Each structure stands twice: as structure tokens, then as C-alpha cells.
Amino acid sequence: MFRVSYSDTAEGQRWSLHGRLAGPWVDELRSCWKYARDRAPLARAIVDLKQVTFIDQAGEKLLAEMRSAGAELIAAGVEHQHLLATLDNHKSPSARGTAPEGGNQ
């Protein structure tokens, strides 16, 4: 299951992702992202990953695209921090579970 909460704020576009960023949900998020960014390409984009529990390789690729387009990715926990560092280094880590801090995988 995957859920996206989106809002336009005075600070820009805010995206909160929840659940598994994998499979068909990656294309759905990409479509929503493209639509919102086409409407306001200069708006600041903040993407909160704190409630994401799993990211497959396609999801990682999309997050890398979002980041290279200027999105600020917010993460908590070791797995998320590692993913962001990996994206910064332009590497493609394998699919991994990313349990919220204090959670079990």
C-alpha cells in the first residue's frame, strides 16, 4: 500500500509519502510529480520520506530524479539516510526495506 499527501503551501510544494514506494506506485507518483511540477516549476519542493517502509529500484530512480530536479528529500533513520547518501553519490542500491526508526523490518 502507498499513500501520498500533497499540499501547496507558502513555502512551496510539500509531499508526504507513506508505505511502499514500489511497483505501479512509482509510476503513479511520477505522474503526480510531473503534473504538479509542470504547474509550478519554480516552487520549492519538499518530499518527506519518514513514513516510507520500502523502496524498490524504480522508486530509488524516481527519488534520484526528484532530487536532481531540486527537490529537498527529508529522511529519518539509518536506512533513509543511507539511501539519500547513495543518491548523492549517484549509485543505485538494491531494493531494501526501510522501517521507520524504532520499527521492525
103 pLDDT above the threshold of 70: no
99 pLDDT above the threshold of 90: no
State pLDDT tens for residues 2-22: 999 999 988 899 999 999 999
State pLDDT tens for residues 88-98: 775 444 444 44
pLDDT, position 102 = 40
CA angle 90, 94, 98 (to 5 degrees): 100
pLDDT, position 83 = 85
DSSP characters for 23-86?
A: THHHHHHHHHHHHHHHH-TTS-EEEEEEEEEEE-HHHHHHHHHHHHTTPEEE--HHHHHHHHHH
State pLDDT tens for residues 46-78: 999 999 999 999 999 999 999 999 999 998 888
